[in-house]
A and B are shown apart, each in its own frame.
Chain A
């Protein structure tokens, strides 16, 4: 459990624009397409309900966006179900950053847990990148250390990350490793808590009867 996650703090790649708002995780990967084992390939099912039978019309299937590693999304991307498979589908399809106007909270956390950068741009920068990326293939750099999306002309569009997410994405450290630094504090808390809130200690059905 101590293996590093993610691809390091600086990632450059082609931007695929999917500029719809409120794209939910059911659409990113349908429930029935989620493979049962963590080692399976989730990428094949990415956006299946929007791609099936559409030839090369869906953005990810258009020749000019092949090989994109940065998805540019709209507002509230990844809302809905908590399925981490939505992030695994993006990961397995080659994406290591999602730049958006906003994210569903669980999806955003799931991105960080899997080393994918969830970058929220303010409306002006988002519109500018959207205009660039829809005009044709464009490469940008997502720099976690600088907390900026660097556009082709060198200008830097800032994005926020909370300190924990920043640390995880910059270092590749897993949350479980970070928590394990506090083992003694946790043990102390659990001990104190059993005295402070004895009613909160879980009861089994046998004890309750």
Chain B
């Protein structure tokens, strides 16, 4: 394998040992400014329909081109319809404008657009690792808070607002303060029925809504190294709910095997060079972290949220704690009440958290040969067109439909209510990431859980333990 010496080398900023986050960061510093701020090169820019088109419009109006169009991928996921036979229209108020601007902006700036009729379309954080748009060691931004999801493959990815998105599009760079590394070590032997979602929700419960505020979380420990890439994506996705700036799992053999199968992965000599670099992307043993936390997963149960934040969570067999009155009132719950058996009228499987093929397989395993309880509205929205096609090839769509689930086209769908469809007024068990007030519809009461728990609850018509056959 050929290796090239960099033409210009930069002296290391400090002599201390580095975490993986600092190593990726250091690779991307174009210039250091006063006070530690850096101008950072952004390898990929992902753009979605909720605000992405308006950002492209601003560039157009300013007469400013996109700096590196080949580094940009746009997709329509947030406001698109997910019903079968969709046309590419939107039910969301203003959605038609958002989609029209995205399409016009992508055309004008020469960007690859994964529109609803493209086989590559899907939720932005599902498609970017799945297609090899995101790769280990790359920096990436997107106008979405869950962009850190792709830290699961070892990319350093940040969610940004649309003004910073515009800066990244126009210059290929962002001005940023250096990352503040935090190590979260997950220890113990994770019980078989406990998913990455359960681990992540438990973590939110232990560390709190701002338990990683402003930090870049590196997940380590035997539970993490034993996770599949899809599980790591789920774990990193929910670091956002601890107010982490982003999250990452250092790439390992599991990552490299996953990336090798993606359509846009480097090939040939480029692949060898990439693997050599990725193999070096791990934290030095004595790397320093601003904060550390260790959480044991050995005794975990499947988790279900009871409140209006992902940190308000208990084991499925637990009782509602004496939490904030506001959350209890909104959720219509009392302290001491068990969650098991609480009647529901909605079940949702989807989102950038839990709509990959392994999630759908887990839910289908629970649903096979069973049916959703009467009066439960159950919906499954695959995270991408590729996930949907794979699920259909495995016959999972038949299982979902036979059980009484609606089987959808890919998109963000009812993870949030942007207008159009909603769970207004309903109690819902959902595989999504936010149980905020009114998130899934006016007065909707959302209980976050894993896809298996959602499936078991849909069948029971009440919050149920997926471990109970």
Contact A162 B37 (CB under 8 A): yes
The chain B residue with its CB closest to the CB of A203 is: B264
Known: A22-B309, A175-B167, A205-B120. Is A162-B436 also a contact (CB below 8 A)?
A: no
Contact B58 A180 (CB under 8 A): no
What are 19 A-B contacts defined by CB distance under 8 Å?
A1-B62, A1-B170, A27-B436, A27-B438, A36-B54, A49-B437, A83-B51, A84-B163, A106-B145, A106-B159, A163-B34, A164-B37, A182-B39, A182-B173, A188-B8, A192-B6, A197-B27, A204-B70, A204-B112
Contact B160 A22 (CB under 8 A): no
The chain A residue with its CB closest to the CB of B159 is: A82
Would you give the shortest CB distance from B424 to chain A, in whole angstroms?
11
The chain A residue with its CB closest to the CB of B27 is: A197
Closest 10 CB pairs of A and B: A163-B35, A36-B94, A84-B161, A199-B274, A36-B97, A110-B161, A113-B163, A199-B266, A76-B210, A82-B145
A26–B418 Cα distance when bound, in Å, is 11
User: What are the residues of chain A within 8 A of B162 when measuring CB–CB?
Assistant: 84
Contact B145 A163 (CB under 8 A): no
Known: A76-B209, A82-B160. Is A32-B419 also a contact (CB below 8 A)?
A: yes
Number of A-B contacts (CB under 8 A): 199
Contact A1 B175 (CB under 8 A): no
Would you give the shortest CB distance from A123 to chain B, in whole angstroms?
14
How many chain-A residues does the 8 Å CB contact rule pick out?
A: 63
Q: Tell me if B219 is interfacial: C-beta within 8 Å of chain A.
A: no
Q: Tell me if B273 is interfacial: C-beta within 8 Å of chain A.
A: yes
Contact A199 B277 (CB under 8 A): yes
B residues in contact (CB < 8 Å) with A? 4, 6-8, 27, 30-31, 33-37, 39, 41, 43-44, 50-51, 54, 57-58, 62, 64, 68, 70-71, 92-95, 97-98, 112, 120, 132, 135, 137-138, 143-145, 159-164, 166-167, 170-175, 177, 209-210, 213-214, 243, 245, 263-267, 270-271, 273-274, 277, 309, 326, 416-419, 434, 436-439, 442
Beyond contacts A176-B167, A179-B174: 13 other A-B pairs, Cβ-Cβ < 8 A, are A20-B326, A26-B438, A34-B94, A36-B98, A82-B160, A164-B35, A164-B177, A176-B166, A176-B171, A186-B171, A195-B6, A199-B266, A205-B120
Interface hits, A185-209 → B, CB 8 Å: 185-186, 188-190, 192-193, 195-205, 208-209
User: What are the residues of chain A within 8 A of B173 when measuring CB–CB?
Assistant: 179, 182, 186
The chain B residue with its CB closest to the CB of A201 is: B70
Contact A106 B161 (CB under 8 A): yes
Q: Tell me if A38 is interfacial: C-beta within 8 Å of chain B.
A: yes
User: What are the residues of chain A within 8 A of B442 when measuring CB–CB?
Assistant: 49
Q: Tell me if A31 is interfacial: C-beta within 8 Å of chain B.
A: yes
Contact A87 B161 (CB under 8 A): yes
Contact B93 A32 (CB under 8 A): yes
Contact A37 B54 (CB under 8 A): yes
Known: A76-B213, A104-B243, A202-B71. Is A163-B36 also a contact (CB below 8 A)?
A: yes
Contact B175 A178 (CB under 8 A): yes
Q: Tell me if A81 is interfacial: C-beta within 8 Å of chain B.
A: yes
Q: Tell me if A126 is interfacial: C-beta within 8 Å of chain B.
A: no
User: What are the residues of chain A within 8 A of B171 when measuring CB–CB?
Assistant: 176, 179-180, 186
A164–B177 Cα distance when bound, in Å, is 8
Q: Which of A105, A195, A197 contacts B243 (CB 8 A)?
A: A105
Would you give the shortest CB distance from B389 to chain A, in whole angstroms?
16
User: What are the residues of chain A within 8 A of B418 when measuring CB–CB?
Assistant: 31-32, 34
Contact A193 B438 (CB under 8 A): no
Q: Tell me if A30 is interfacial: C-beta within 8 Å of chain B.
A: yes
Would you give the shortest CB distance from A144 to chain B, in whole angstroms?
15
User: What are the residues of chain B within 8 A of A186 when measuring CB–CB?
Assistant: 30, 39, 41, 171-173
Q: Tell me if A80 is interfacial: C-beta within 8 Å of chain B.
A: yes
Known: A83-B51, A110-B163. Is A202-B270 also a contact (CB below 8 A)?
A: no
The chain A residue with its CB closest to the CB of B57 is: A38
Contact B161 A113 (CB under 8 A): yes
Known: A162-B177, A199-B277. Is A38-B7 also a contact (CB below 8 A)?
A: no
The chain A residue with its CB closest to the CB of B166 is: A176
User: What are the residues of chain B within 8 A of A180 when measuring CB–CB?
Assistant: 171
Q: Which of A87, A105, A178 contacts B245 (CB 8 A)?
A: A105
Would you give the shortest CB distance from A197 to chain B, in whole angstroms?
7
Would you give the shortest CB distance from B245 to chain A, in whole angstroms?
5
Would you give the shortest CB distance from B415 to chain A, in whole angstroms?
10
Contact A203 B161 (CB under 8 A): no
A49–B441 Cα distance when bound, in Å, is 11
Interface string of A65-87 (1 = CB under 8 A from B): 00000000001100111111101
Contact A175 B164 (CB under 8 A): yes
